[in-house]
């Protein structure tokens, strides 16, 4: 067998219209949506933990005069920045992995598939989606951060007085006899 006949030829674009390829594309799309859901759930859990650990910090910001809207926006801005940085790192690692796979194919004697080049400018739509999933996943933890009362930093001699709806309002000092 000659060297030229042993080289694998990649299918052309019109060969991708076959029925088996359509099923494969659908399966990849299903796996993409599953990974999107799992990623969003992981981001949700991460930001829930972050908000839980920063309860005292967020309460201090509220005491110093930060509005609920500012707290909400700060958590979402943090999610956007994390999503942007993760998208940049993921894109760089993806380009490096593609270059490594292409080098591996060239070493093995197989030509790289036509149109298989991965370039960073081509992936800007994917970056927007990744950042969007990160921000959307952080909305619920951000809403929980808004509900943090400004008085968890107060000493134990303070208690919350109920308002008309039965919810706690501003802290009121307890008398020594009621403690």
Q: Which residue has better confidence, 25 or 8? A: 25
> Do the Cβ atoms of 112 and 102 come closer than 8 Å?
yes
d(CA 20, CA 18): 6
Q: What is the DSSP letter of 17?
A: G
Enumerate the domain spans of the chain: 21-150
- Give the lowest-confidence range in 13-17, 48-52, 125-129: 13-17
pLDDT for res 114: 62
Q: Which residue has better confidence, 122 or 60? A: 60
In the three-class reduction of DSSP (H, G, I as helix; E, B as strand; rest coil), residue 158 is classed as: strand
Write down the pTM of the prediction. Answer: 0.65
pLDDT for res 157: 43
CA R_g for the chain? 27
Given a cut of 80, whether residue 17 has pLDDT beyond it is no
pLDDT tens digits along 49-83:
999 999 889 988 988 989 999 999 999 999 999 99
Q: Is 7 exposed, middle or buried (0-12, 13-18, 19+ CB in 10 A)?
A: exposed
pLDDT tens digits along 20-52:
556 777 887 888 889 888 989 999 999 999 999
């Amino acid at each position: 067998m000659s060297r030229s006949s042993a080289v694998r030829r990649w299918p052309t674009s019109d060969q991708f219209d076959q029925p088996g390829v359509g099923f494969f594309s659908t399966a990849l799309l299903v796996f993409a949506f599953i990974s999107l859901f799992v990623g969003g759930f992981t981001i949700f859990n991460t930001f829930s933990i972050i908000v839980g650990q920063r309860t005292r910090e967020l309460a201090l910001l509220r005491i110093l005069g930060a509005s609920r809207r500012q707290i909400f926006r700060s958590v979402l801005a943090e999610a956007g920045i994390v999503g942007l940085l993760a998208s940049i790192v993921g894109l760089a690692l993806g380009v490096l992995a593609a270059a490594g796979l292409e080098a591996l194919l060239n070493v093995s004697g197989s030509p790289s598939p036509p149109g298989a080049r991965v370039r960073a400018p081509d992936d800007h739509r994917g970056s927007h989606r990744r950042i969007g999933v990160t921000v959307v996943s952080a909305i619920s933890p951000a809403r929980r951060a808004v509900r943090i009362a400004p008085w968890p930093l107060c000493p134990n001699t303070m208690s919350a007085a109920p308002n008309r709806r039965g919810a706690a309002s501003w802290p009121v000092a307890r008398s020594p006899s009621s403690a």
